[in-house]
Amino acid sequence: MSSTILLIFELIGTVAFAASGAITALSKKMDIFGVATLGVVTAVGGGVIRDLILGNTPPATFQNPLYALVAIAVSLIMFIPAVRRVLFHKPKVYEISMLIMDSLGLGIFTVVGIQVAYTAEAQHNAFLLLFVGMITGVGGGVIRDLLAGNTPFILVKHFYACASLIGAVVCILLWQFLGSFAGMAGGTVVIIVLRLLAAHYHWSLPTSQMEETVSEQKKKEDK
């Protein structure tokens, strides 16, 4: 994949995740600094973790400030009163915006993480590629949720980390047989589609809720 196409991929993902982080900050009524901070850490957090794992220091974000500057610009746009009114006076717009931005960022950064791992390591193994891809995709969102005081999406939201993992597998397989562009494009599409389907059909992994309900019922019977 050419450097230009990769740059476009990364910028789209940066815009998407920055918007996701800024919207989360706005929903928590943070000030403009908080909005910008959540926008930046959501956009670049996964990449920083990825680079530290791969030994790429200082992380790319600090070598090229373009991504952080784009994230700040997007966050400030989200802070404009007219934009806030559209987002929060229409709950459906807010929900759809968060879903699309988060899904787009997750898909793009998962496959970008795999691309960086391929470039950084002469010896590739599937576990490294899968782990680095997934941590690049979900890392920024985890930091965002922790700073916002929310339980991270990957622990509670329907099919979030699993979508990243499945997309990473698709990316690696297509990469082996059809090349980098097919792998990254295919992996991104799979992740976005899975996230949208999971939201529409309310897919989720098994939780402890059932066991808690049984336990509570037993306590009532004992009384």
Which range is least confidently modeled, 106-120, 135-149, 152-166, 182-196? 152-166
Q: Is the separation of the CB atoms in 30 and 129 below 8 Å?
A: no
Which residues, 6+ apart, have CB-to-CB distance to 188 below 8 Å?
Answer: 9, 107, 108, 110, 111, 167, 171
Per-residue model confidence (pLDDT) at position 223 = 54
The pLDDT score that the predictor gives to residue 40 is 97
The pLDDT > 90 percentage for the chain reads 65
Task: Give me the pLDDT at residue 132, please.
Answer: 95
- The pLDDT assigned to 122 comes to 66
- In contact, 191 and 164? CB cutoff 8 Å: yes
pLDDT digits (tens, 9 = 90+) for 26-35: 999 999 999 9
pLDDT grade, residue 220 (50/70/90)?
low
Neighbours of 188 (CB within 10 A): 25
C-alpha to C-alpha distances, 108 to 49, 129, 142, 189, nearest whole angstrom:
16, 15, 16, 9
As a whole number, the mean pLDDT across the chain is 88
Report residue 67: phi and psi, to 5°: -65, -40
pTM over 0.85: yes
Q: Each residue of 32-86: pLDDT tens digit?
A: 999 999 999 999 999 999 999 999 989 989 998 999 999 999 999 999 999 998 8
DSSP letter for 168, please: H
Of 170, 161, 222, 158, nearest to 196 by C-alpha is 158
CA terminus-to-terminus distance, the chain = 66
